[in-house]
Structure 1
């Protein structure tokens, strides 16, 4: 929970969006996948069912062709008239050669398939015509017809079953009789009637190879791993087509398969297709991969858009946060530039107004503080100048008394320069060069006063002279050294001015008695005792103009000397 509270605003904005995005894409993707797979399965099932219907129609076409042959023989009235007479001799021969045999020959030529046409006649005055096949399938050789007497089959169970049926007249039956099952054949049976008299005159049998009749049953038409079967009314497999049983023999079918079927009207059989679920699984895998790809691309695109929107708002929030951090660090000039009038724009406008108000208050406070410091400076100068002026005038009087005109002239010139630079036309700021001149004027006056007991050295970088500084920052340090840093009867002072990165550093180094750490702490403590008031005034004014990182630093060791370092910003 704490991590969530500390999480950046952009993450807080994008995480709920990503969660909702994943939920939405997952829901839509799951629904699309389920719907697509179901539609694909239904489409595949319809395609396979359509293929089975084509196979059924092809088989029906072949059986209709065989049944037309039977119809042509059944409705041959001239043949029926000839078979009605039981005369022997020439008439019987003529019926055979001119009527029955030509009719059967013509029917054989009607179809291109190998068929066996047999008629079983009640008229035993006609001769029989048949072949000896020695156990071989007679349909493998050629098309042929045979003529038998009906009494040959009257004792057969299958014939008695058909004869007992009163509905046999005008109907056809597909049966495997005699040697059909062993030879892989099937026969179309139809009673041969004398239509005019309504009496039976025999039986028509047309035998055809099952492989010819069912040659369209091929598993490759519906799939490489499917199985096609044709089963009869008892459930016995008539023919099977599958990769494992290419020879047409029946094999075991896996349980995990879809069963589709089509009835074969007339034959009384059923065409069955066993389709493995792997066929659907392969299609489902393709749909799954495509769905995942679409969902992934959609998620990436939507996530990219979400990240873009989140980044857009996060950047605007970061601007506000960055500006608040700048305010916290003291940069009250920071502003937020936004276009638009939305909520963030209103926050930015309110922030800018707040910044302006704070900056105005700071300027007012700064002006008040500056006025106070300047008043303190004026008070300090008012305290120093009369005493300094009194001592200097005393020195001038002594020089005039002793007639040292040259020193007297030099002292008056330096005193005039000192007060001219101190006034600075009433300005708070001056150049580094003028501040050094002011310090040199003060030192020159003191050198005339102390003579050889005072040694002063200068180490000044000429490149810093044009930069700006607060006025009267060196003279209080020099005055403090001359007042407290004498070591015996002599004193050495070194004034250093140099550049350091983006700052300008002043150093007033003396060879005096030094100060204790407690004394330095009391001098720089704003609420400390009133010692080193001039140094503390300089430090406050520099911080007021430049910032808290600037000001006065004192380093000292007892018996060695003191170094007062003043750091100001380098500004033109």
Structure 2
């Protein structure tokens, strides 16, 4: 009995006592952290709405085209037209660019622009102006203290949240900000003044004391200490009388809100945490009693011995499931755990090796497909060119024959390109020019080619031979009369490079275009086009490739899209 008392009952009681004390402290910390997290969420909600209003003001503040209109002092019809067709639409867009019900007041320094407003300036009703705006002349507020004492302008930064005019009467608050002429940054001339009024109920909608517990309170002050909004019970000096007449203590938590440093304060009665502590205390007592019963029949050593080994196995299995196949276990001995560990280690090595093999196989397959498609283009072009050289030799046109042979050598020198599939765009264009020299030697003045290439794309790369097959297709199938015109353009459009090959030939029907990309069995049409389309998609992905637009009798436009990838050499 003495041994049982010493080794079982006394340790369990000691553990229960210290666990209860530590757990109560943990409950306090968790409660504080939980409330702090809730307060941060409320703060983020308020700052998000404030940032949304500030974003609206920045739309107008950074609109230089609006500033140009505001500093133009032409009168008469021009002033009216600028106001109604340019200035007012910009304000209308801004006031409706947020989910908040804002009322906007704009005061313009240019008194040649007409005032446009609803209601009375002196007896304003911001609630009736929600989702709308009023235009006034700046001289209306020149003597107002809130405008006169506004801080000096720092470009893009100076703005204040204040209750001005009748905001207090309607439970609202306004964002105040200048409109300045940013053309002279060292002398920011004021061309107007913005006041964007928001309902405090809408702005502080997320401040609800019920989110942190009954009997709690939330209050927010501005930087001057004035109360902007409150919710729930707000104690004086952090204490309040409870139901029994005693003083109730509060836990006070603060957060700073917005760029002006508003103070958001939460008051949480400690009785809330005491109720939780009582529950924890009862829970700990029950756990201690349960442990006494369990410890009588089981030993901690055996439980710990098996749980540690099982946890290691579960840890490695979870790592394998998440793709971390390099995790391993090491157990000594010849028991079941050691056998399981060895089997799992071997399985991880095998799976890792198989994944690597599959990955390398896919890469090799992709490279083989690209090389196969590339090899299918050159023989077709070479056959046609050698036929032309043969005809020139037959008719004794030695000069043309020499030029064509030199251009053919240049074309294949650029085409081989040391065996690389991806080449600089300028090399692709040189290859096209070498090909066109061969064709102009062959056809003379019947072929007219124009280049419209943006110099910005020359430092990017492409899969080789993506333009020549389309030009060859034009010269073989698109003749309409005794001459043909070809235009080759290249442009950088965002993150893509777009080439176009445009001709004024016979054109194609929609059925013919469909047969090119989806050929009918037994009808070999558009091999070169599909070849280029397949090579681009194999190398860059299905988001890129070739599209064709054409109308019979008008001509054809081939659009080739590749990603904008810079050279790495």
TM-score by length of structure 1 reads 0.46
TM-score by length of structure 2 reads 0.46
Between structure 1 and structure 2, the one with the greater Rg is 1
